[in-house]
Structure 1
Amino acid sequence: MTQQQTPQCEVSWFSALCDDDYEFLGVPDPQLASSWEHCRGIVQRAEEGGFDNVLLPSGYQLGLDTTVFAAAMATQVKRIKLLWATRMGEDWPPQLARRIATLDRILGSDAQGNGRLNVNIISSDMPGEKIESGPRYVRATEIMKIVKTLLNGEHLDFQGEFFNLKLDPPRITTLSGKCPAFYFGGLSHEARECAAEAADVYLMWPDTMDKVRETVTDMKARAKAKGRTLKFGYRAHVIVRETEDEARRYADRLLSKLDEEAGKAIREKSLDAKNYGVQRQQELRSAADGDGFVEDNLWTGISRARSGCGAAIVGTPDQVIAKLRAYQDAGMEAFILSGYPHVNECDMFARYVLPQIQHGPLAL
């Protein structure tokens, strides 16, 4: 399949705000720790490399504050979009709407006049808080609906389980006058229902191709039942080298200094460590072969020292492109990629893969 025959997709990179950058997994490196200088450098390199978007993740114990970093980065970049992650419960919903509108205005618009801010909605426990998953996802659904109403310039009259609000939209609007896209992920029934009802882009972590297709079919049906449609995104790590042997050797090298107890401690540090999606990543690792591959070019070794997205697409440029196109055939329209160390792998992907992909910002 040629580049011209392949539908366009959005290709994003990842800035390691959550102390998630290593030369050797599980071995902290002060030069790669979350800092303004280091994480800014990742974003700038992603923009220079031609990526469409960059995820700014959210963590509590694990590094820089995402909102402050996003506001600062909005003044530093010229073209790339920012996918700003925020945890539901951090802000009162009307204040969250103002925060999003302000970030959108600082970041500015692209050549077509479209906003350059997207929002990654996270529905996990807040630090020191414990809410059952059902009510927690109800809260996230309510917040997304409230924020969308306000940022779309509509009067809000909302009665829900968590919020009862009546107010006019804030004076500060986004540049487009519309709410930016909400990217959202989660595998449990409650998470899927939340996404189907209020999200715009449903994000998946790595999984086998049959499970990817199964999840897309399920989510399309759930959204249709609510009179909505969804776009789909795929979050994965990547290791691309000129030969497959070289890529596999680099994967082995990443794990060569990992202490299993240290890896377990890293996995359990996250607030999301016990959720359904994280458990699925561990299942994939358990199902993998002796080299850590659960299917062609999908390596699960990263889940030994990371909570969350725990697998990498590993191979030659042609193999990586073929895998991405297979995901596109399954319904994926956006990719959020990363690699270790993040700046180095960003350069590798930008050199070997990105020029061969028809890509651009996701149209919503």
Structure 2
Amino acid sequence: MTVVPVTSADLDAAEVSWFAALCSDDYQFLGVPDGDLRSSWAHCSEIVKTAEAQGFRNILCPSSYQVGQDTLSFVAGCAPITEKINLLAAVRCGEMQPIMLARTIATLDHMLQGRLTVNIISSDFPGEKAESEYRYQRSREVVEILKQAWTRDEIDHEGEVYSFKGLTTDPAKPYQTGGPLLYFGGYSPAALDLCAEHCDVYLMWPEPKEAIVGRMQAVHDRAAEKGRTLDYGLRVHMIVRDTEAEAKEYADYIVSKLDDEYGRKIRERALDATSLGVSHQAKNRDIADEFGYVEPHLWTGVGRARSGCGAALVGSADQVLSEIEAYQKMGIRAFIFSGYPHKEEAEHFGRLVMPHLKTCSLPEAYGRVPQAAPATPLAAGERR
């Protein structure tokens, strides 16, 4: 039995996803920039194609003000070069006017024929600092407007940040029934409330399992107040090899040239560098053992040179499978893995672990993806 009720309680599979390093976040040695691994279209699209070939069902396309790829532009570019993999587009609420954002997402959803998922984020804009309460209120209103655009004939919204009256939703009708699934991560009370009321999958960064259980319980309690359940996801790095010794040796290898001062600069340039979630990742490093492990197979060394998700599962294929199965029993239904370098580590995981996992697409499991072109104005519906 899962630690809290989940939406996909009867699902005997997991959405196993990879990560597209769009934001200058691919290295052979952490903290040592390598021109061959820059976040160019050529390199990042190769990561996506590799992930699809290895059987990953989704791939997170992050957003940040770094040298790299604009998220929604990149997702659009991936539509004609992929066939099966979903794309999880990170959308920082407020960057685009909400009505036009709804239309943009609907366009992408049609281009991908239902393979779009959306990661709602609420971090600061470049060069701007806003109070957390305002940022989450803005995100709440954006999500409410998106949902109206995707499920109603008109948008009528009167909020603290946005106000719209009587706008037709024809230009924003999505390919998927009800629109793309919304994935969300956040640790503040306002974040938990927003996710509990409006989102589908609550994403967490790695922590000791008892902390993850507590986090799931906190979100579930809020969702239950709204008469809802959620699914839960874990974003964690991955180092898997034929043996545990080889995996741990590789973990040491990728930080062997890291200058900690430069690693700090990398962490601090991220737009989420001062968030509550990032502070929890720093706490993991503080309580880890002398080798950086906070659990026998959860290594915090990655967090020395990146903001956000700051720990990796490290072990043999059998050990990693056991960890994944333990998370699934807790109620985790979505995993977003990554590794350095991203293309090569996707291949390691694909060879060693993927054949032993039963995977799924959550939008398909939710019944969001129609079997034929939907009756939308952009697909098979009446053109008005």
* TM-score normalised by L of structure 2: 0.90
RMSD: 1.2
Match of 2:250 in 1: 250
In the alignment, the residues of structure 2 paired with residue 190 and residue 62 of structure 1 have an alpha-carbon distance, to the nearest angstrom, of 30
In the alignment, the residues of structure 2 paired with residue 171 and residue 289 of structure 1 have an alpha-carbon distance, to the nearest angstrom, of 54
In the alignment, the residues of structure 2 paired with residue 177 and residue 279 of structure 1 have an alpha-carbon distance, to the nearest angstrom, of 37
Match of 2:125 in 1: 126
Match of 1:350 in 2: 350
In the alignment, the residues of structure 1 paired with residue 11 and residue 136 of structure 2 have an alpha-carbon distance, to the nearest angstrom, of 35
Whether contact under 8 Å (2:102, 2:172) holds in the other structure is no
Whether contact under 8 Å (2:39, 2:69) holds in the other structure is yes
Q: CA deviation at 1:203?
A: 0.3
Match of 2:295 in 1: 295
Q: Which amino acid aligns with 2:152?
A: G
Matches within 5 A, 1:83-94: 83-94=88-99
- Provide the secondary structure at the position in 1 that maps to 2:235: strand
Question: Is there any run of 5+ residues in structure 2 with no aligned partner, and where?
Answer: 1-9, 367-384
Q: CA deviation at 1:62?
A: 3.6
- With 309-318 and 126-135 compared, the bigger mean Cα shift is at 126-135
Whether contact under 8 Å (2:24, 2:66) holds in the other structure is no
**How many residues are matched?**
354
Match of 1:156 in 2: 155
- Provide the secondary structure at the position in 2 that maps to 1:68: helix
Q: CA deviation at 1:354?
A: 0.8
Match of 2:225 in 1: 225
In the alignment, the residues of structure 2 paired with residue 177 and residue 189 of structure 1 have an alpha-carbon distance, to the nearest angstrom, of 30
- Provide the secondary structure at the position in 1 that maps to 2:33: coil
Match of 1:112 in 2: none
- Provide the secondary structure at the position in 2 that maps to 1:75: helix
Whether contact under 8 Å (1:212, 1:330) holds in the other structure is no
In the alignment, the residues of structure 1 paired with residue 294 and residue 355 of structure 2 have an alpha-carbon distance, to the nearest angstrom, of 28
Q: Which deviations, in whole Å up to 9, do the C-alpha atoms of 1:18-41 show, x marking residues without a partner? A: 110000000000000100000000
Match of 1:169 in 2: 169
**Which residue of the other structure, out of 32, 43, 51, is the alignment partner of 1:46?**
51
Q: CA deviation at 1:227?
A: 2.2
Q: CA deviation at 1:6?
A: 8.5
Q: Which amino acid aligns with 1:27?
A: V
Matched, 1:116 2:121: no
Matched, 1:79 2:84: yes
Whether contact under 8 Å (1:238, 1:312) holds in the other structure is yes
In the alignment, the residues of structure 2 paired with residue 342 and residue 323 of structure 1 have an alpha-carbon distance, to the nearest angstrom, of 21
Match of 2:61 in 1: 56
Q: CA deviation at 1:149?
A: 1.0
Q: Structure 1 vs Structure 2: percent identity of aligned residues? A: 51
Q: Which amino acid aligns with 2:132?
A: S
Q: CA deviation at 1:177?
A: 4.1
Matches within 5 A, 1:159-308: 159-166=158-165, 167-308=167-308
Q: Which amino acid aligns with 1:68?
A: S
Match of 1:139 in 2: 138
- With 177-186 and 97-106 compared, the bigger mean Cα shift is at 177-186
* TM-score normalised by L of structure 1: 0.95
Whether contact under 8 Å (1:141, 1:197) holds in the other structure is no
- Provide the secondary structure at the position in 1 that maps to 2:119: strand
Match of 2:4 in 1: none
Matches within 5 A, 1:324-335: 324-335=324-335
In the alignment, the residues of structure 2 paired with residue 359 and residue 311 of structure 1 have an alpha-carbon distance, to the nearest angstrom, of 23
Whether contact under 8 Å (1:13, 1:337) holds in the other structure is yes
Q: Which amino acid aligns with 2:354?
A: L
Match of 1:11 in 2: 16
Whether contact under 8 Å (2:247, 2:315) holds in the other structure is yes
In the alignment, the residues of structure 1 paired with residue 177 and residue 243 of structure 2 have an alpha-carbon distance, to the nearest angstrom, of 48
In the alignment, the residues of structure 2 paired with residue 163 and residue 200 of structure 1 have an alpha-carbon distance, to the nearest angstrom, of 23
In the alignment, the residues of structure 1 paired with residue 220 and residue 82 of structure 2 have an alpha-carbon distance, to the nearest angstrom, of 35
Extract structure 1 runs of 4+ deviating beyond 6 A.
Answer: none
In the alignment, the residues of structure 1 paired with residue 278 and residue 25 of structure 2 have an alpha-carbon distance, to the nearest angstrom, of 16
Q: Which deviations, in whole Å up to 9, do the C-alpha atoms of 1:261-316 show, x marking residues without a partner? A: 11000000001100000010000011000110001200000000000000000000
In the alignment, the residues of structure 2 paired with residue 190 and residue 6 of structure 1 have an alpha-carbon distance, to the nearest angstrom, of 29
Q: CA deviation at 1:75?
A: 1.3
In the alignment, the residues of structure 2 paired with residue 18 and residue 259 of structure 1 have an alpha-carbon distance, to the nearest angstrom, of 20
- With 333-342 and 225-234 compared, the bigger mean Cα shift is at 225-234
Q: Which amino acid aligns with 1:94?
A: I
Match of 2:375 in 1: none
Whether contact under 8 Å (1:59, 1:270) holds in the other structure is yes
Q: CA deviation at 1:58?
A: 0.6
- Provide the secondary structure at the position in 2 that maps to 1:171: helix
- Provide the secondary structure at the position in 2 that maps to 1:237: strand
In the alignment, the residues of structure 2 paired with residue 6 and residue 63 of structure 1 have an alpha-carbon distance, to the nearest angstrom, of 36
In the alignment, the residues of structure 1 paired with residue 276 and residue 176 of structure 2 have an alpha-carbon distance, to the nearest angstrom, of 36
